[in-house]
Amino acid sequence: MTDMHGGRHETQVAVLSAESRSLPQKMHSHYHYEVLYAMKGTASVTAGDTKNILTKGSIFLVHAGVVHSVTAGLGAKVVSISFDPVHLCTLGVAFERLPVILKKAASSLCTQALFTVGTIDENIAEYCFSQCVSEARGSGYGYDIVINSSLGRLLIEMIRIWCKAGFVIDQSGVSSEKLDMNSVGAYIVKHCDEQLRVEDLAAKCGMSYSYFAKRFRAVYGQTCKEYIENVRIDRAEKLLLFTSHDLSFISQELGFSDCSHLIKVFRQHKGVTPRQFRMRKGQ
């Protein structure tokens, strides 16, 4: 239904059904995560060797890299929200380690993927999924923020349920000394205002430059340099829209070498200069 910023995998919302020919989905996998919600009727999700039945109101979390298929009968509707947890890190401190938490949850015996009706408060679940669908269809101003906020609420509910079952979250922040491929994206988001070098990030992950570059592209779907630029341009957009800071301040705030560098990169990504972007948005 929507891809918020072409070229990267950010949160996408779709309503799947046999009538729209978006179901059934054959066995497949992807590097991002996916939350499935049975809005109407009954569906089944086969993940690995396990078949899971989704009745109206139930939820299933598909972890990154898990081979799965989705089927549903006529009249059934399934909401699909696919996301990269790295892009939720800006929601607050609780999400800074979300990529690591989800990776750990994928192999934990305390973390179910299927949430039957009532496991998560039905009012919360229905509201969050309905809001995501409505916002994606309308694509009004700030719809991506609303969708990510609703998705974040759902993930918090899931993690709290896991914790009650014995799942332990490492409360320490993202280590500045040692990173892995699942946490390096969150590190970039958190430190995008600094002078980030791919060589340094590779070293923090204990990898050679070439191997790091290859693994980063496989996990995030783009080069590390592109990822850093995308994060900075996203931040630049928000500063242009919601503040009156000049370009010199924004370039320094976001780790660009100077104002000219910001203008050049912004034009490459958006097709307009930062000043033109601000004027078009009525600032």
Domain boundaries, the chain: 12-164, 184-280
Residue corresponding to tokens 């999924």: 129
Query: So what's the pLDDT on residue 171?
Result: 59
Q: Which among 66, 64, 107 is positioned nearest to 84, based on CA atoms?
A: 64
Two tokens at 203? Answer: 């070293």
* Percent of the chain residues topping a pLDDT of 90: 61
Q: Is the pLDDT of residue 22 over 50?
A: yes
For 152-176, b/e burial (b = at least 16 CB within 10 A) is: bbbbbbbbebbeeeebeeeeeebee
**In terms of pTM, does the model score above 0.85?**
no
The average pLDDT across 190-211 equals 88
Q: Yes or no: is domain 184-280 CATH 3.40.50.1460?
A: no
Write the pLDDT tens digit of every residue in 55-65. Answer: 999 999 999 88
Position 173 pLDDT exceeds 50? no
Query: Is 231 in contact with 189 (CB distance < 8 Å)?
Result: yes
At residue 132, the pLDDT reads: 97
Read off the pLDDT of each residue in 53-80 and give the average, rounded to a whole number: 96
pLDDT band at 10 (very low <50, low <70, confident <90, very high): confident
**184-280 matches 12-164 in CATH topology:** no
H-run or E-run covering 187: helix 184-190
- Mean pLDDT over all residues of the chain? 88
φ/ψ of residue 38, rounded to 5:
-80, 100
pLDDT on residue 90: 64
Q: Is the pLDDT assigned to residue 205 strictly greater than 50? A: yes
pLDDT of residue 282: 58
Strand order across the 12-16 sheet: 12-16, 77-83, 33-40, 59-62, 114-115
> Could you report the per-residue pLDDT of 110-153, keeping only the tens digit for each?
999 999 999 999 999 999 999 999 999 999 998 999 999 999 99
pLDDT for 93:
67
In CATH, the number for domain 12-164 is 2.60.120.280
Q: How many CA atoms lie within 13 A of 7 on its CB side?
A: 13
pLDDT band at 31 (very low <50, low <70, confident <90, very high): confident
ω into 24 cis (within 30 of 0)? yes
pLDDT band at 97 (very low <50, low <70, confident <90, very high): confident
- Could you tell me the strand order of the sheet in which 43-47 lies? 25-28, 68-72, 43-47, 50-54
What does the alpha-carbon distance between residue 101 and residue 212 come to, in Å, rounded to a whole number? 21
144: left (phi over 0), alpha (psi -120 to 50) or beta: alpha
On the question of pLDDT at 283 being above 50, the answer is no
Interval 194-203 mean pLDDT:
90
Token digits of residue 47? 């993940």
Q: List own/partner pairs for 105-109 with CB under 8 A and 24 or more apart.
A: 105/63, 105/159, 105/162, 105/167, 106/63, 106/64, 106/66, 108/162, 108/167
Could you tell me the pLDDT band of residue 85, with boundaries at 50, 70 and 90?
Answer: confident
